Structures are given as C-alpha cells and as structure tokens.
Structure 1
Amino acid sequence: MSRIIVVDDDRNICQLISEYLKKDGHEVEEFFSGDGLIERIKKESPDCLILDIMMPGINGLQLLTLIRSFSEMPIIMVSARGEEMDRIMGLELGCNDFLGKPFHPRELVGRVRSMMRLVESYQTPRTEALKPPIRAGNLLISEEYRKVQIENGPELSLTIREFELLLHFARNPNRPFSREQVIRQVWDYDFLGDVRVVDELVKRLRKKILDLATGISIDTVWGYGYKATVETT
C-alpha cells in the first residue's frame, strides 16, 4: 500500500481525489493548504505527493522548491489555470509529472500507478549478477544501484526520470532521438505527460552535468530531438 498526500485548497476536489486513490488501494492523507506540510513530510515522507499550484498563502511552486531542498520524493502537480508557464515552472523546479484541471480522477490514479511502478523498480534489489557500471565520459552509471558518480568525484543527485534519461543517452552515444522515441524507448509509453516534458528533463539534466567536467553533453538536434556527445580519452 502506497502512502499519498493530496494537497488542494478545494476540499471537494481534494476529497474526490482521495476517494479514487483509496479505492485503488492507497493510504491517503489530505491537506487543504501548505500549513504544516513540510513538517509532516520531514517527519514521515509519503510515497507520492499530489500538489496543487494555486493555494492561498504559500503556493504549490513555493512548496515544491522547499521540498526539493531535502527530498526527491515523487511529486505530481496539478493546476486549474492550465497555463504553459505553470507546467514549465513546475518541471524546472523538480516535479515529476503535471496535470491540468479539469481532469478525470482516473487519469490521476493512472499517473500515480505509473509513478509507483518507477519507484518500485528503483527500490527492488536485483538478484542476477551485477553488471559493470556504464562509462560515459567521466561518469560511472550503475543501473543496479541507480547511482551516477563522477570518476574520482562526487555522486550526482538525480531524480528517477533524470536517471532513466541519462542512462538511455549513455547507452546510445551520438545517436539522435526524437522526443517521441525517448518516451517510447525509455518509459515504454508508461508516461502520460506531454512530449515537451522531455525538453524540461533535458534542461534539468544539463544543469546538473554542465560544470562538473563529466565528459558527456546532451545536445540538441535541431528540428528533431536530442543526442548525447561523449568525450573519448
């Protein structure tokens, strides 16, 4: 059973989401504002957070920034305004998925299921012989331990989707991929967001590897998509 926190100042929407999630077998806790949320998460982090943007007092984007300063827990953001800037800001600040209102609760449940499958694959230990880390430039990428480390340097802090994206490009250096190919090959369509989410993930990944002498870059293939360029020694 997954423990999920739903944060929305509209009590009717919050309770409707909670009912659908509970029917799907999740344990749900409701917050109608950001008051006390950070303290609650630090005390006992949930498996997933559903966070509304527009709320009185501290809003969802501000809460997201605070949460990402200490936790990489899965976060799905929702917004009634449906503005493109909300989506971009949410993804740049580190949410894992984004859903515009109005939406059917079943769609949200589907996205939660998808997120939980990713988390489970991240946490489940492998029983077969461990594969050696993939080398990409100065990065050592361990698929089994889901870790990325600069050779003789620090470990990178990546979200689940950032790791999957980097692993895909590291396995296929110099090969260009469209956004649709990335979603199909990396997540096997187990991702319900807009293909432009790939752009935001690439942007975030670039920021994390840009100044660390990693020896790998994610380059834009104009009019098509992206490819990884790996330095060779």
Structure 2
Amino acid sequence: MEQDKIAILVVDDEDRIRKLLKMYLEREGFEIDEAADGEEALILATEKDYDVILLDLMLPGMDGIEICEKLRETKATPIIMLTAKGEESHRVQGFEVGTDDYITKPFSPREVVLRVKALLRRSSKTKFLETEPAAKNIIVFPNLTIDHDAHRVMVNEKEVGLTPKEYELLYYLAQTPDKVYTREQLLKDVWNYEFFGDLRTVDTHVKRLREKLNRVSEEAASMIVTVWGVGYKIEAAQIEE
C-alpha cells in the first residue's frame, strides 16, 4: 500500500453494494477493504488503521451499532453509517455511540464519495486538507490547544485522538468561551441534522470528550461545563494570547 493512500473499509452483507462502492471509491484513488459481516469487520477495523469506515447498520451476527460501540473503546476512526429508510431511532442510537455521519439507502454512489471526502476534510488526516487556504487558526487555553488547520488537539503538549464529531463539538464550544449552548443548538450546528431524537446524543459525546481529555489533564476536562437545565459551555477564565 502506498504510504499516503487513503484506506477505507466497506462493511455490508450485500455483495452488490460492496462491489459498487468499491468501484466508485477506487476511481478516486482510495484503497478499499471489504467485510460482509460484523465479526469480520471488527477484526479488520481493530487490526488496521483505516481513514474511514462505511458501516451498514443491519448486519448478520453483530450489527453496526455494536461494532461502532466496540470500536470507540479503542479507536477514533471516522465512521459513516449506512441505514435504510424508517430507521430513525437507530440513526439516533448510532450518533450516541460515536457515528460521525449517516447515509440513507437507497443512495447514489456519487453521494457516498462526496460524503467520504467531506468527512476526510473534517478528520485529522491533514493530507486531505491541502485545498483549504493556509492560515494560522489556533485556539489556545492554559491546558488546551486546538490547531484547527491540522485538526489537532493538544493537552499539556500531548496530542489527544478525537473522532471527527468529538473534535467538531470541542472546537464549536471553544470558539466562544463562556457562551452556553443548548443541546438542541449543538445537535443542529455540530451534527447538521435536525431530528426528533434523544438529546443524550450530545450528552454521550460530551462525556466521551471529557474522558479523553481527563486522561491527560483534569483541568482540561473540567473546562467543559454542564449548565444544568440549559446545556454546555467551555469555561475559560484565563485565555492565553
């Protein structure tokens, strides 16, 4: 495999869908691996560092929700869930366990390619950001630094690996310190998806984000403050210039 080649795992129990997605994604220069069931997908995704995983929700043996949940215990790989129409509750559950985006079946393969590219731009893979204008876009707090150009989060000079959605949530809050955002606002602006679902999607991501920051610095984790009955904010009494 070429060192700088984007690697994508396509997981679907329908051979036709896997082959179709593989063909379109390979045309874009991506390297594609396939898995037809949940157990195979989990083994591949655990052993290899993929840039994106396209994950069908309904799979034999282990479904997409369970795979995503297990992966999030050790990996921040960007995940796009493939769901059928009418599975709204499952999509909400997918967001709660760490899915970064979803695509509804039936879909256009071209749409999938565009969504993959958009997710890569939002992920930490800087090699896919070269079309963006160079700029010094860094937010610095006493214990936390966010380099938005590189999509990199540093806590006490140690890099913290976040999923695209975790990163977007942190960056969104950090842009306006001490401003309180409701869960509804965060769902709309960070997830770009207005749905009638469980607001625990936001709570779950905040909890996961705090846990990752807390592994390096309790002070950094405590900056994400819950405003009871309202929502969340980044509390930063002292911001370094």
| 1:221–1:227 contact (8 Å) kept in structure 2 | no
Distance between the aligned counterparts of 1:106 and 1:218, measured in 2?
40
Partner of 1:72: 76
| Structure-2 change in CA distance of 1:70 and 1:102 (3 Å) | same
Gaps of 5+ in 2: none
Unmatched runs of 5 consecutive residues or more in structure 1: 184-190
Secondary structure at the aligned position of 1:73 is classed as: coil
Within 5 A, what are the aligned runs for 1:58-137? 58-119=62-123, 120-121=125-126, 133-135=140-142
Q: 2:153 corresponds to which letter in structure 1?
A: K
Instruction: Find the aligned partners of 1:145 and 1:80 in 2 and give their Cα distance.
Output: 31
Distance in structure 2 (CA, Å) of the matches to 1:92 and 1:132: 27
Asked if structure 1 preserves the Cα contact closer than 8 Å seen for 2:14 and 2:36, the reply is yes
Looking at structure 2, the residues matched to 163 and 48 of structure 1 have their Cα atoms a distance apart, in angstroms, of 15
Letter in 1 for 2:14: D
C-alpha distance in 2, partners of 1:9/1:180? 31
1:147 alignment counterpart = 153
- 3-state SS of the aligned residue for 1:38? helix
Say whether residues 1:2 and 2:6 are aligned partners: yes
- Percent identity for Structure 1 against Structure 2: 28
Structure 1 residue aligned with 2:38:
34
Aligned to 2:22: 18
The code of the aligned residue for 2:170 comes to L
| In 1, Cα distance between equivalents of 2:205 and 2:76 | 15
Deviation at 1:69, TM superposition (A): 1.6
- Please list every run of at least 4 consecutive aligned residues from structure 1 whose deviation after the TM superposition is greater than 4 angstroms: 122-125, 127-132, 154-157, 176-181, 210-213, 218-222
**What is the rounded CA distance, in whole Å, between the counterparts of 1:181 and 1:64 in structure 2?**
22
> Aligned-pair distance for 1:51?
0.6
| Counterpart contact for 1:174–1:227, Cα < 8 Å | no
1:161 matched residue in structure 2: 165
Q: State the Cα deviation string for residues 35-85 of structure 1 (Å, max 9, x = none).
A: 332222233222111010111111111111221121111111111243211
State the one-letter code of the partner of 1:171. Answer: Q
In 2, Cα distance between the equivalents of 1:25 and 1:145? 23
Count of matched residue pairs: 217
2:126 counterpart letter in structure 1: S
2:233 is aligned with 1:228? yes
Partner of 1:216: 224
**Counterpart-to-counterpart distance in 2, 1:176 and 1:195:** 19
Q: Deviations over 1:165-188 (max 9, x none)?
A: 2122122124466459835xxxxx
CA distance in 2, matches of 1:90, 1:181: 16
Deviations 1:171-223 (A, max 9, x none): 2124466459835xxxxxxx8x52459x666323332339966043255897x
Aligned to 1:188: none
Q: Secondary structure at the match of 2:39?
A: coil
Q: Tell me the secondary structure at the aligned position of residue 194 of structure 1.
A: coil
| Contact 2:178-2:236 within 8 A present in 1 as well | no
Q: TM-score, normalised by structure 1?
A: 0.74
